[in-house]
């Protein structure tokens, strides 16, 4: 769990400091305010590279794979027109900390990481879906160089996490672990089935979780299960469908299903879940249930950091948040100062305090447009 | 011309005539007299149009919890929209019977919602409940309302600078 982040003279940021909530953090900002860059910085600082013997070289390479600078050198990521080194600092709940520095001409970074507990790797879900990419990576002789040229590590890291086998008996998990019982069936209901990995490619199986009484195969694998009735995924009679044939918004939910299934996303032990624009390609009707699922993950100890410019998503969080259940949502607004061009940050715990609130502004625009069209100059 | 509904006062500065339409005190001028009919609060005559105005004040600091609960329950289950539509229709009939319906009608309501997000939805809900209920009726030659829209205080004042609304301290009983 990341508690604090400082980015100085790094990509879009001159001087940025953020305190993260252990629950849900929502980074809000217009295009070009550095939301994705912020998420990628967290991904890099949570990664194993920072704690290797040759951390300076490893982390420099990681940053290049994430941001794809033209020169291929980390120094290019230093913010142009600023003085001093780029400095990235993260503090974690485990007491760990890491600081990365590099100059504009650097090919390597200087990394200092404090002693302390382990830092769990973050999971980054980029804006575009990744399930289809998996097939390219699991091919017999994947062309790694070409893949790395097209996709930054934000995509590749996730694809690798999706391929991980892990304990994929999702049914047993649903039985045994109330954390999964409250989330996994909900996701399946949301998209009317689930994604499964078959021979290196993700396919979609129509079906639903139903409550069954008595023994089942997953209960045998889990003798400690003491429930008489249990939820079980029942596939419909229809054939498996290639993931490419399913809606892209569904595939994003599929990513969440798979990460929960193979243990990459294990609330309570996993690093922060970083999700860039969860709303992209998502049917707005799915938004409410997605927010419910995210709140449920956070209630089970999963730190979540979202980047969005969809104020409808924010409104859903505002409406569905249940402080009685310990929900903590913090909003971090990134905006660019008109005069200096610098990105500034404001953080707040109340949706209503967000300024400017584009959702209200949008609805007010609608009201005014209707007056103009139907009433002309009356009252003016 | 200033009209007042409880703690809210609107000054229709360019009105030809402005009346409290739902006057149910027999001794007052413009006594309505048919309590079986729904009624909007004000009818305002302008040079070229009529305004039907309904005022609801859920944000009144004096509003009681019970009343607010009822208000939001009715908003949610649609009865508030039904009531707003019925008020327009019955007022329209009444004005027709008075032979005072010769200008295009705008049904504009002031509802003191704090969340302006609610306004466009509620406006559309009322409009859908007014004849012809969103249907295309080739036989119709005229429309009942030119505009049907709900405003909060802020958006009302921004939209209609000539009809400023203010919240006033309640008059003391002397």
**Higher-confidence position of A117 and B49:** B49
Instruction: Check residue A220 and give its pLDDT.
Output: 47
In angstroms, the separation between the Cα of residue A152 and the nearest Cα of chain B is 39
In angstroms, the separation between the Cα of residue B173 and the nearest Cα of chain A is 33
Structural domain for B139, as ranges: 2-167
Q: Look at residue B173 and tell me if it is in a domain.
A: no
Residue % of chain B over a pLDDT of 90: 82
Helix axes B79-97 and B65-77, enclosed angle (nearest 10): 80
Q: What is the token pair recorded at B10?
A: 């609107």
pLDDT of A243-299, one tens digit each? 888 888 889 889 998 898 888 898 888 999 999 999 988 888 888 989 999 999 999
Average pLDDT for A42-54: 93
Instruction: Check residue A261 and give its pLDDT.
Output: 83
Instruction: Check residue A222 and give its pLDDT.
Output: 44
Residue B108: pLDDT over 90: yes
Q: What is the ipTM of this complex?
A: 0.87
pLDDT of A140-197, one tens digit each? 788 888 888 889 999 999 998 998 876 556 666 666 676 777 788 888 988 999 998 8
Q: Tell whether pTM > 0.80.
A: no
Q: Look at residue B172 and tell me if it is in a domain.
A: no
- Chain A residues in contact with B160 (beta carbon < 8 A): 378-380
SS3 A231: strand
Residue A225: pLDDT over 80: no
Chain B residue set in contact with A, beta carbons under 8 Å: 14, 46, 48-49, 106, 115-117, 119-120, 123, 146-147, 149, 151, 155, 158-163
pLDDT of A301-343, one tens digit each? 999 999 998 878 888 998 899 888 889 999 999 988 888 888 9
Instruction: Locate the domains of chain A by residue range.
Output: 2-122+271-375
In angstroms, the separation between the Cα of residue B160 and the nearest Cα of chain A is 4
> Inter-chain contact B117–A359, Cβ cutoff 8 Å?
yes
For the domain covering A2-122+271-375, report its CATH number.
Answer: 3.40.50.300
In angstroms, the separation between the Cα of residue B149 and the nearest Cα of chain A is 8
Residue B116: pLDDT over 90: no
Residue B18: which H helix or E strand, with range? Answer: strand B17-20
> Inter-chain contact B120–A366, Cβ cutoff 8 Å?
yes
SS3 B114: coil
Q: What is the largest CA-CA distance in chain A?
A: 75
Instruction: Check residue A214 and give its pLDDT.
Output: 57
CA dihedral A233, A238, A243, A249 (to 10 degrees): -70
CA A370/CA A373 separation, integer angstroms: 5
Instruction: Check residue A306 and give its pLDDT.
Output: 96
Please return the burial class of B157, using the count of CB atoms within 10 Å of its CB with bins 0-12, 13-18 and 19+: middle
Chain A residue set in contact with B, beta carbons under 8 Å: 315, 359-360, 363-364, 366-368, 370-371, 374-375, 378-380
- Chain B residues in contact with A379 (beta carbon < 8 A): 14, 159-163
Instruction: Check residue A171 and give its pLDDT.
Output: 67
CA B139/CA A104 separation, integer angstroms: 75
DSSP A323-379: GGGT--EEEEEEEE-TTT--EEEEEES-GGG-SS-HHHHHHHHHHHHHHHHHHTTTT
How many independent structural domains does chain B possess?
1
Residue B134: pLDDT over 90: no
């Amino acid at each position: 769990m990341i508690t604090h982040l400082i980015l100085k003279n790094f990509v879009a940021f001159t001087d940025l400091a953020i305190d993260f909530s252990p629950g849900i953090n929502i980074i809000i900002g217009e295009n070009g305010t550095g939301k994705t860059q912020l998420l990628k910085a967290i991904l890099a600082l949570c990664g194993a590279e920072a704690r290797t013997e040759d951390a300076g070289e490893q982390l420099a390479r990681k940053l290049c794979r994430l941001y794809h600078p033209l020169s291929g050198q980390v120094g290019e990521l230093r913010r142009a027109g600023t003085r001093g080194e780029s400095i990235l600092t993260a503090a974690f709940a485990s007491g760990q900390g890491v600081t990365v520095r590099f100059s504009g001409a650097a090919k390597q970074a200087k990394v200092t990481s404090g002693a302390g507990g382990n830092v769990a790797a973050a999971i980054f879900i980029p804006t575009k879906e990744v399930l289809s990419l998996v097939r390219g990576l699991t091919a017999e002789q994947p062309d790694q160089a070409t893949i790395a040229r097209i996709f930054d590590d934000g995509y590749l890291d996730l694809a690798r996490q999706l391929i991980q086998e892990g304990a994929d008996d999702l049914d047993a998990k649903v039985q045994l672990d109330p954390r999964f019982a409250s989330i996994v069936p909900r996701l399946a209901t949301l998209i009317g089935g689930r994604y499964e990995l078959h021979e290196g490619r993700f396919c979609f199986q129509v079906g639903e979780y139903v409550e069954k009484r008595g023994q089942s195969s997953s209960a045998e694998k889990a003798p400690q299960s003491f429930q008489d009735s249990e939820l079980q995924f029942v596939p419909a009679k229809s054939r498996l469908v290639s993931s490419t044939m399913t809606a892209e918004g569904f595939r994003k939910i599929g990513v969440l299903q798979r990460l929960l299934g193979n243990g990459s996303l294990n609330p309570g032990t996993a690093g922060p879940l970083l999700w860039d624009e969860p709303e992209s390609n998502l049917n707005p009707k799915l938004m409410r249930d997605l927010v419910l699922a995210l709140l449920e993950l956070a209630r089970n100890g999963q730190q979540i950091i979202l980047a969005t410019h969809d104020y409808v998503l924010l409104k859903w969080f505002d409406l569905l948040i249940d402080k009685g259940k310990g929900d903590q949502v913090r909003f971090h607004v990134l905006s660019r100062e008109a005069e200096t061009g610098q990105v500034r940050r404001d953080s707040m715990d109340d949706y209503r305090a967000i300024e400017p609130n584009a959702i209200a502004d949008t609805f007010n625009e609608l009201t005014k447009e209707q007056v103009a069209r139907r009433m002309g100059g009356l009252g003016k | 011309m200033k009209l007042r509904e409880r703690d809210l006062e609107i000054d229709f500065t360019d009105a030809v005539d402005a009346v409290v339409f739902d006057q149910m005190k027999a001794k007052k001028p413009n006594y309505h007299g048919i309590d079986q009919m729904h009624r909007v609060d004000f009818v305002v005559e302008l040079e070229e149009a009529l305004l039907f105005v309904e005022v609801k004040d859920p944000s009144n600091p004096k509003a009681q919890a019970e009343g607010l609960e009822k208000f939001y329950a009715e908003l949610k289950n649609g009865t508030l929209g039904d009531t707003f539509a019925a008020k327009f229709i019955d007022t329209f009939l009444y004005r027709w019977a008075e032979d005072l319906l010769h200008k295009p009608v705008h049904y504009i309501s002031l509802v003191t919602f704090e969340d302006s997000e609610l306004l466009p939805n509620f406006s559309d809900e009322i409009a859908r409940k007014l004849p012809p209920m969103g249907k295309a009726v080739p036989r119709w030659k005229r429309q009942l309302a030119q505009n049907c829209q709900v405003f909060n205080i802020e958006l009302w004042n921004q939209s209609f600078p000539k009809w400023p609304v203010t919240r006033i301290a309640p008059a003391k009983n002397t």
